Amino acid sequence: MSLDGPRDDTVEQAWNDEVARRVSKVKDGKATLLSRDEFRSRMRTRLGQ
């Protein structure tokens, strides 16, 4: 597999749809937002660090 392969418009559309879905959740107040520090703390816990 190459990064220089042919463009797949279905993948780009899927990402566009996902971004729109996430933005909508944030705007509607349905997303759980974390501060940078909280995110890093959670990731360290998950990685056992």
Q: What is the pTM of this model?
A: 0.64
pLDDT attached to residue 7:
83
d(CA 23, CA 26): 5
Q: What does the pLDDT read at residue 4? A: 82
Distance in angstroms (rounded) separating the CA atoms of residues 9 and 21: 18
At 1, is the secondary structure helix, strand, or coil? coil
- What does the pLDDT read at residue 8? 87
Contacts of 22 (CB under 8 A, 6+ apart): 31
Q: Which residues of the chain have pLDDT under 70?
A: 1-2
CA atoms of 25 and 2, how far apart (whole Å) = 34
